Structure 1
C-alpha cells in the first residue's frame, strides 16, 4: 500500500512524539531521589517534557490542517499521538504527586510498575520506527508486548494495594501510596491504549 522510498513526515512526527515520551519515562526511572529538592527537580524536568509533548502535538495538528493527503486516516494519526501524550501526562502527574507528598523513598511495587512502563515506552518507540518505515504488520509484536507489560502492572497493582492495607498502619501513608499506585496503573493503561490504537491502525491499513 505504501511507497517505502521516503519517510512520511506524519510518521516521523509520531516517532518524535514517542521518543519524547520514552525519554521522559527513562528520566523518571533513572533519577536517584534522595531529598525533597530532588523530587522538585524531577517534577520540573518532567513538566518540561510534557510542555515539549504539547508543542509536538500542536505541530502535528498544524501539519494535518495544512495537508491535503495523509498516509493513513487523520483520525488515526491524531488518536495515536494523543494516546502517547496521555502516557507522558500520566508520568508527569505521578512525579508531581511524589513531590506533593514529599515521598523520597519508593517501594518495590513502584519500581516494578516503572520497570514495565519503561519497557512499554521502548516498545512504543520500536513500533513507531516500524511505522516510519511503513512496516505496519511488523508493529503487531510490539503491541502484544505492551499489553503483556500492562497485565503485569495489573498484578502489581492488586498485590501492592493488598499489601499496603495489610502492612501499613499510618492512614496518611496508605492514602499517599494508594494514590501513587493508581497513578502508575493509569500510565500502564495509557500504554495499553497506544497498543490498541496501533492494532486498529494495522487492521485498517496493512
Structure 2
C-alpha cells in the first residue's frame, strides 16, 4: 500500500474545480452568441463577470499556496495549473468581447468553422470540469488528457479551415481582420486547455 506524507487539503482541489466550472459557464455563454436575437452586450458583460470571478479564485489559490507549509503536490505545478485555468478563461472572455465590440453578430451568420471551434471548447471545458475533482485520487485521468489532446487537434483543423474561408474573398478586408482576431483567440483557448491537461499529466506522473 502506498502512503503519502503530504496533507490532503481539499481547499486546493476546490479552487481547481471552481475555476473549471467557470470555464463551462464561459463556453456556454459563447454558445449563446450564435442564438438568433442574442443580447450580445449582455453575454459579453456576463463573460467579464465570470472572468473576474476566475481572477479572484486564482488570487485565493496563490494566497493559499503562500500560506501553506506543505502542499498536496509540487508548488510549481499548483501555480502552473491555476494560471493555466485562468489563461483559458482570459481567452474565452476575449472571444466574447471581440464578437461584441466588433459587431460581428450583425453579419448574416458567423462562419460554420467558428461554431465548430466553440463546440470544441465546450467539450474541453466539460471534460476539464469533470477531471478536476479526480485530481485528489489521480484515478482514471489518462483518458482525460488523451481526449483533450484529440479535441485540440480537432480545434486546429477547424482553425485552419476558418482561415482558408476568411481569405477566400467571401468577406471584406476589415471583417477578415476582425474575425481573424476572434479565430486566433479561439485557437489559443483550445491550446490553453491542452496546456492544463499536460500539467495534470505531469502531476499524475510525479505522484504515481
TM-score, shorter chain, exceeding 0.5: yes
d(CA) in 2 for partners of 1:27 and 1:2? Answer: 41
CA contact (8 A) 1:168 1:174 kept: no
Q: What is the Cα-based RMSD across aligned positions, in Å? A: 2.0
For residues 1-206 of structure 1, the aligned pairs below 5 Å read 1-2=3-4, 8-31=10-33, 33-34=35-36, 38-104=39-105, 105-131=109-135, 134-206=136-208
Structure 1 residue 28, shift from structure 2 partner: 2.0
Q: Give the number of equivalent residue pairs.
A: 202
Single out whichever of 122-131 and 21-30 deviates more from structure 2: 21-30
Structure 1 residue 172, shift from structure 2 partner: 1.2
TM-score between both structures, scaled by the size of structure 1:
0.91
TM-score between both structures, scaled by the size of structure 2:
0.90
Q: Which has the higher helix share?
A: 1
Structure 1 residue 201, shift from structure 2 partner: 0.7
CA contact (8 A) 1:146 1:192 kept: yes
d(CA) in 2 for partners of 1:20 and 1:169? Answer: 34
CA contact (8 A) 2:32 2:43 kept: no
After superposition, the Cα gap between the structure-2 partners of 1:115 and 1:169, relative to the gap in structure 1 and judged at 3 Å, is closer
What do residues 109-142 of structure 1 show as CA deviations (whole Å, max 9, x unaligned)? Answer: 11100111110011111210111xx221421210
d(CA) in 2 for partners of 1:71 and 1:8? Answer: 9
Q: Which runs of 4+ in 1 moved over 2 A?
A: 30-35
CA contact (8 A) 2:142 2:201 kept: yes
CA contact (8 A) 1:33 1:39 kept: no
Q: Which runs of 5+ in 1 are unaligned?
A: none
Q: Which runs of 5+ in 2 are unaligned?
A: none
SS of alignment partner, residue 106 of structure 1? coil
Structure 1 residue 30, shift from structure 2 partner: 3.5
d(CA) in 2 for partners of 1:90 and 1:103? Answer: 17
